Amino acid sequence: MPRKALRPELADAREQGLHNIGEASALSGVSAKMIRHYESTGLIPEAARTFAGYRLYSDADVHRLRFIKRARNLGFSMKQIETLLSLWNDRARASADVNRLARAHADELAVRIAEMQAMQRTLEDLARRCHGDRRPDCPILDDLARP
């Protein structure tokens, strides 16, 4: 009579539609290292394990990983993603809460973009004023050394 294990073998887990970390990574586009990180920070639930200790992920876990990846690609912080996941899981949420978070993030991005464009203009101006030859005079270094 076969022993009933609390943890399935990997082949049994695959028959149940579960994925090891490599498969979850390939399906979600999130590296195995980041999957482990998200698990350690609580963004995704702790993975089930096979008898041999391999992590197992369901299709719902893979879907959650895709959600996180998309949110990261849009520049949301880990804290914001945690909030978005909470809202996503709350079917009684108000869409206004999600909208407010997205608009606040878009406003933050606009400020960062403006700051980066100012940096770009400054660097282009400094580069134009630099002769780029063998002379030691360098407006770029002079500007960086300013108090």
CATH number at residue 39: 1.10.1660.10
Express each pLDDT in 32-59 by its tens digit. 999 999 999 999 999 989 888 889 999 9
Last residue in a domain, options 75, 93, 111: 93
- Total count of domains within the chain: 2
Same domain, 68 and 122: no
Same domain, 78 and 45: yes
Same domain, 116 and 89: no
Express each pLDDT in 77-134 by its tens digit. 999 999 999 999 999 999 999 999 999 999 999 999 999 999 999 999 999 999 888 8
Q: Supply the DSSP string of 108-137, one letter for each residue.
A: HHHHHHHHHHHHHHHHHHHHHH---SS-S-
Same domain, 83 and 113: no
Residue 2: per-residue pLDDT: 46
Same domain, 88 and 103: no
